[in-house]
Amino acid sequence: MAGATGGWGKAPAGLVDRFTEAIAGVPGATTRKMFGYPAGFANGYMFTGLFEDRWIIRLPPEAIIELEALGGEPFSPMPGRPMRGYLAVPESLVADADAIQPWLDRALAHVLAMPPKRGR
């Protein structure tokens, strides 16, 4: 949620720690900032990241339907501008390292199946 100055809020330290731990367990993933938050990349594509107090993930269409059924919500860094293919992970999965890891694996597989992104 945008702060009073129009900027984005800071990610909670505990969420950043959980994210960092989870990404460390993903083979071939690299991390860098996206929107000023930590994000996981592979094959030149962001496959997961943080945004304010949310964990976002990139998935293929069939997996998006599955995650929406579990409470995943479309990700819009700006109101009315959703990023296609990305969902905010439900808190129940974020809080459970064992539950989120298979979703990270699916997101990684999704971007690894794409043609390599040039310039990265």
Domains and CATH numbers, the chain: 13-112 (3.30.1460.30)
Among the listed residues 116, 22, 112, the one whose alpha carbon sits nearest the alpha carbon of residue 60: 112
Of residues 49 and 3, the one with the higher pLDDT is: 49
pLDDT score at 3? 40
pTM: 0.87
Cα dihedral across residues 60, 89, 31, 25: positive or negative: negative
pLDDT score at 115? 94
* DSSP character at residue 19: H
Structure tokens at 12: 């909670």
Structure tokens at 103: 């979703």
| Residue 36 confidence (pLDDT) above 80 | yes
With beta carbons less than 8 A apart as the criterion, state whether 70 and 58 touch. no
Summarised one tens digit per residue, pLDDT across range 40-94 is: 999 999 999 999 999 999 999 999 999 999 999 999 888 888 899 999 999 999 9
pLDDT score at 7? 64
Confidence grade of residue 119 (pLDDT, cut at 50, 70, 90): low
Whole-number average pLDDT of the chain? 89
Taking residues 31-37, what's their average pLDDT? 91
